[in-house]
Structure 1
Amino acid sequence: MCGRFALTARPDQTAAFLGLDEVEEFPARYNIAPTQPVLLAIAAPPRGLGSNLPDRRTQLVRWGLIPGWAKNPGDLPLLFNARSETAAEKASFKAPMRHRRALIPASGFYEWKRIGTKQSQPYWVRPKAGGLVAFAALMETWTEPGGSEIDTGAILTTNANPEFAQIHDRMPIVIRQEDFSRWLDCRFQEPRDVADLLRPADPGFFEAVPVSDKVNKFANTGPEIQERVEPVMAMAAEKAKKAAEPKPDQLTLF
């Protein structure tokens, strides 16, 4: 799954990555959580023949998809992720999978590895080569009873590759730059035509950096939450080792 991510690139860097002249202003954010605004790219309306305008545009949406048919979003779970294997058939995602596929640019994401029953180790997962990635996403516009509209989105996930599965069994889908146009083209590309893009990242694409549990609180938004720390297991082992060592003033029989 993907429950937190970051986008810390400058707007001009994000625009260049998405193949646009500019994007909406989006300050560096180190700990983006569900229900918060996220930057999303979607196909632009059809252009006239010979147009030099880009085939995509960006906008801010609420992270947490609300299906268009929902009467009361409070009755639904928070749909910030969508399983790619079933998105084309699920009532909540079927329409946007067919008509509103999108991209969410990111500098990386966070994932938690369970350790025993009470502890977990958070990791900052970023592209090993640096730069940005684009998560496969879906967009939906929900109309409130009063008539106002809310644009919402969700990130598509898939089974983790063998390397990442040591941390979690799911991971967000990354769309490569050369596949942006095909993924976003909902006029001529049906879900079955882009199903080959719904795969885990290649082993070695990401690197996972152990970080502190500061990331657990979405109020912590500074770059320090991405600083490397000793993993929980290593800290526990070191603590146990020190506890077993005899104290300087402790007598020994051996």
Structure 2
Amino acid sequence: MCSHYQAPANPNIYKSAFDVEPPSNLGRQDVWPSYSAGFIRRHPHTEVGDDAVPDREALTGLFGMVPHWAKDTNGSKYTYNARSETVAEKPSFRDAWRKAQHCIIPADAFFEPDWSSGRAVPTMIQRVDGQPMGIAGLWSSWKAGDGQTVYSFTMLTINADQHPLLKTLHKPTDEKRMVVILPQERYGDWLAASAQDSGDFLQPYPADLLNASTPLGRPQLF
């Protein structure tokens, strides 16, 4: 499960890598649950036929889903990942899944614990080519007491027991999990996909396109 990642600090990355204007507020770069960070969704008016309306938009939201029925935003500390196997059933996620409220979370890297030494060593996962990752997620909106709309998002995860890289991380006794990293050419398809087609995108990212670096800065290629 991913509870810590690095969001792009350069607003130009949104345009060059994700073909979208950056959000007015990029949020945090070092992101943990309940922190504000950028995410990308399909523009709600993209089907009106107006060429001036872009296909997608970037917003700032909380890392951790806040469903529309929540009493406050405190639950975002625990809803930052949605298991693909149960996302359609869990109350915090099922409405966003049913409505296909897909989003992309831009990330330069994410962190997982390496327990091979017998203790947790934070390990940074990045793309080998140095490009940012587009992580598949779901978004939601919530109305605060003052009428303000608060956006939030969660990362979708899949089993990684057979993944050459991610299976080496986490405690030996724990199930191995990984976030869904989308191929760049499928960003638009994911944002436009129906709920029925969502499962087609929940695939492991090739291990040879990723590397892992320890705090000592030594890359591990897989």
Tell me the TM-score normalized by structure 1. Answer: 0.74
The within-5 A match list for 1:79-94 is 79-94=79-94
How many angstroms apart in 1 are the aligned matches of 2:75 and 2:219? 41
SS in 2 for 1:158: strand
Match of 1:228 in 2: 217
Match 1:178 to one of 169, 172, 185:
185
Q: 1:92 to 1:16 in 2, by over 3 A?
A: same
1:191-206 matched pairs, under 5 angstroms? 191-206=195-210
Q: Which amino acid aligns with 1:7?
A: A
Runs of 4+ in 1 over 4 A off after TM superposition: 25-30, 72-77
Percent identity over the alignment is: 27
The corresponding residue for 1:39 is 38
In structure 2, the CA distance between the partners of 1:139 and 1:201, relative to structure 1 (3 Å rule), is same
2:212 to 192, 195, 208: 208
For 2:111, the equivalent position in structure 1 comes to: 110
Q: For the aligned residues, what is the CA RMSD?
A: 2.5
SS at match of 2:211: strand
Unaligned 5+ residue runs, structure 2? Answer: 171-175
Gaps of 5+ in 1: 212-226, 232-254
The 2-side partners of 1:95 and 1:24 are apart by: 25
Amino acid at match of 2:137: A
Would the aligned equivalents of 2:65 and 2:76 in 1 still touch at CA under 8 Å?
no
**Alpha-carbon distance in structure 1 between the residues aligned to 2:219 and 2:168:** 17
CA distance 1:45–1:128, change in 2 (3 Å): same
Aligned residue in 2 for 1:24: 23
How far 1:126 moved relative to its partner?
A: 0.5
Q: How many residues align?
A: 211
Conservation of the 8 A alpha-carbon contact between 2:108 and 2:133: yes
Seen in structure 2, the aligned counterparts of structure 1 residues 19 and 92 have a Cα distance that, compared at 3 Å, is: same
Check the 8 A contact 1:3/1:80 in 2, yes or no. Answer: yes
Task: Letter of the 1:162 partner, please give it.
Answer: P
Partner of 1:244: none
Alignment map for 1:153-164 (pairs within 5 Å) = 153-160=153-160, 161-164=163-166
For residue 33 of structure 1, report the CA deviation from its aligned partner: 1.1
Alpha carbons of structure 1 residues 229 and 180: separation in structure 2 relative to 1, 3 Å? closer
Instruction: Give me the TM-score of the superposition, normalised by structure 2.
Output: 0.84
Q: Find the aligned partners of 1:82 and 1:98 in 2 and give their Cα distance.
A: 14
Give SS of 2:181's match.
Answer: coil
Secondary structure of the corresponding residue to residue 156 of structure 1: strand
Tell me the alpha carbon deviations over residues 171-212 of structure 1, each in whole angstroms, 9 at most, x when there is no partner: 110112221122112xxx32221211111111212100011x
Q: Deviations over 1:128-149 (max 9, x none)?
A: 1111111111111122345433
Distance in 2 (CA, whole Å) between partners of 1:229 and 1:176 is 26
Q: CA deviation at 1:68?
A: 1.3
Deviations 1:65-120 (A, max 9, x none): 11112235547862111112221222211111232111110111011123576x21
Q: Is the 8 A contact 2:212 2:219 kept in 1?
A: no
Match in the other structure for 2:62? 62
- Structure 2 vs 1, CA of residues 8 and 140 (structure 1 numbering), >3 Å: closer, same or farther? closer
Structure 1 residue 29: deviation in Å? 5.6
More helix by share: 1
Does residue 122 in structure 1 map to residue 122 in structure 2? yes
Question: SS in structure 1 opposite 2:14?
Answer: helix
Q: Which amino acid aligns with 1:15?
A: K
